Structure 1
Amino acid sequence: MRGHPAGLVERIVGTVAEMQAGRVHAGGRPANQRGEIGVRHSLMRRSGAGLIRKDKVERYTIAMITSNLPHGQSGRIFLVAIVLIAALAAGLVASRFMIDRTQDLRAAQLFPTPRALADFRMETAAGEPFTRSDLEGRWSLLFFGFTNCPDVCPDTLAMLAQSMEQLRLMRREELPQVVFVSVDPDRDQGELLEEYVAWFDPEFVAITGPEEQLQALTRQLGIVYWREQPDENTGFYNVDHSAAVLIIDPEGRLHGRFGHPLVPEDVVADLFRISS
């Protein structure tokens, strides 16, 4: 990150102090013309990132604060001006950080601060317990769906399987753990659930659990699902659900997400960058 809030604020504060003493004029013009700076100067530099030029923002902000004040009142808002300018400086630097992060990643969307997960208790297809501790110690990818899903679930699992195969070909020492969470525990259990995920990749883990535990997990992850009413004749029902793939870091925290649809090359590239 090229900018630094402290340095930017120091330059602005110094300029404000000089302007109060009458030694510096905004935009290099006499003090009585400082209000014209908003018209005379463009604030944007058309570069690759399209960022605001800091030097002009500094002077523009200073001019707008001080141009229309009577001479005796300019000193009274000195502290207020510093606070406002500091907030502006911090915003510019934060924006630059977010732009850089977006340019670095192809598809992953990371949270500014990873979110800690409360403990939960689910079961694997083999009937073994699966808790928050099973998400610790390595990167994990969580996807929520159900085995009767006609399109999104098989498509996503297939793309994840391709991503893991590409990582194997690259001789990645440790692959992310891929966990398929069924939101249809009444139909998805045991051997059926195990065979479903193994068809895509034998290393994939399948889990589900009672409705209470399932909701406790999905709510803290921001996952939603809704079961339709069963058909009167066949009893079949569909389940609407979130399609994102969640990224869990080795500390068991929600780190980010991949949106639907997945592109294996983008997933692999982002996993390399995130886990490096």
Structure 2
Amino acid sequence: MKIQKVVVALLLILVMLAGVLSYQHLQKVDEPVSALVYPKARDLQEFKLSSHLGTTLGRQDLRGQWTLAFVGYTYCPDICPMTMATLSGSYNQLKQMLPADAKLAIWFISADPQRDTVNQLNSYVGYFQQPAITGVTAGHDQLFPFVRDLGLMYAISSTTEPDYLVDHSASIVLINPDAQLAAVFKPEMAAGKVPLVSKTMLLADFPLVMAKLQ
């Protein structure tokens, strides 16, 4: 009789343990493959940029919306047009992964203010036919601290050639509606290939990132 009671007690313990483990498994959020979610969202410093429409933008303009931001330049031969095409082409699917009333914006941050005038940015943004895209730039005194604040980088060589290249990050950052840096989508690095955040990578990781942020 005592043995039966012990067996029953052990079975109950095993059932309870299995239930706890199952609950923990269901509650666990899968980790993004190519994205990093910051343990604590980081406040961005105030900035002053010019948009492709000629307006002035600051940190307040990031509030009330989710923003995917990418640093590049309009004369970029590969990473920039391919990444912007990915962001533009993925926009509707990404928007559906947010709460129904949430807004989603895309910022293309030009690291080449010398050539990327308002008219040049306007033409470039218009090419992607996505109203959610805003092209922004500024003098390097404003631009460089802002890009660095996003955890990104760019560098321009001191050349006098008109067709110079600009080195820049290939990552896409996610800014939350409180104007805080929340996550970064990192490009796939493979020998002989352009470093890119592909549409497949972005769509796979985005819902996992959002699940960790909510």
TM range (shorter): 0.7 to 0.9
Counterpart selection for 1:178 from 102, 106, 109: 106
The size of the alignment, in residue pairs, is: 175
Partner of 1:236: 163
**Among residues 95, 119, 128, which one is paired with 1:200 in the alignment?**
128
214, 225, 229: which is aligned to 2:154? 225
Partner-residue secondary structure (3-state), 2:120: helix
Matched, 1:130 2:57: yes
> Quick one: which amino acid aligns to residue 78 of structure 2?
D
| Contact 2:170–2:197 (CA under 8 A) maintained in structure 1 | no
Shift of 1:172: 7.4
Q: Distance in 2 between matches of 1:169 and 1:113?
A: 25
Letter matched to residue 104 of structure 1: E
In the alignment, the residues of structure 1 paired with residue 96 and residue 180 of structure 2 have an alpha-carbon distance, to the nearest angstrom, of: 28
Partner of 2:173: 246
Structure number having the greater strand percentage: 2
Give the aligned residue type for 1:155.
M
- Unpaired runs of 5+ residues, structure 2, are 1-27, 188-195
The Cα RMSD (Å) is: 2.4
Task: Give the TM-score of the pair, scaled to structure 1.
Answer: 0.58
Give the 3 Å change call, closer, same or farther, for CA 109–168 of structure 1 in structure 2.
closer
| TM-score (norm. length: structure 2) | 0.73
1:66-145 matches, within 5 Å, as 103-145=30-72
Q: Is the 8 A contact 1:167 1:175 kept in 2?
A: no
Note if contact 2:74-2:110 (Cα within 8 Å) is conserved in structure 1.
yes
The CA distance in 2 between the partners of 1:180 and 1:161, in whole Å, is 11
- Shift of the alpha carbon at 1:131? 0.7
Q: Which runs of 5+ in 1 are unaligned?
A: 1-99
Paired AA for residue 45 in structure 2: A
